[in-house]
Structure 1
Amino acid sequence: MDRRPYNSLKEIKLELQTLNLERKIQMEELKLTKHQIKEDLRPINWIATLLKGVKKYGALILLKKMLR
């Protein structure tokens, strides 16, 4: 954090408003991240990921058998 001299009370208030808005933005980003993590940890998402892996593996086995 830099310490710069302020020339007026108006500059201080502007800086405080800016910092307050930055804090609010960071809180909203944190809420969004929390929501995304919750979604990623739902069991239905695990099943979908597992099914994608099984499909890829099955396609590879089928391709191997076709090439033999």
Structure 2
Amino acid sequence: MNKYYNSFEEIQYDLKRLNLERQIAIEELKLIKSEVNEELKPYNWIPSILGMLKKYGMMYLLKKIIK
């Protein structure tokens, strides 16, 4: 799909728009990167690990009581 321009103003407008879209995309990627870094920090894993240990511990106790 080729776009034909009638004036330099149209070209300048599209260049500015595309540059702004590129800058927005870069900022969104930076935000996603920081969110992923936050999620991967060890202190964010502690609640899920404790939850798993709690469930495993309860199952272990129930097995001991039942036997």
The interval holding the TM-score normalised by the smaller chain is 0.7 to 0.9
Give the aligned partner of residue 41 of structure 1: 40
AA aligned to 1:43 is P
- RMSD value, Cα: 2.3
Give the aligned partner of residue 51 of structure 1: 50
Q: Which runs of structure 1 show a deviation greater than 6 angstroms over 4 or more consecutive aligned residues?
A: none
AA aligned to 2:25 is Q
Name the TM-score, length of structure 2 as normaliser: 0.74
| CA offset digits 1:4-57 (Å, max 9, x no partner) | 1011100000000000000000000010011011101100011122223445x2
Give the aligned partner of residue 23 of structure 1: 22
Task: Report percent identity of matched pairs.
Answer: 44
Name the TM-score, length of structure 1 as normaliser: 0.73
Give unpaired runs (5+ residues) of structure 2.
63-67
- Higher Cα Rg, which structure: 2
Give the aligned partner of residue 65 of structure 2: none
Give unpaired runs (5+ residues) of structure 1.
none
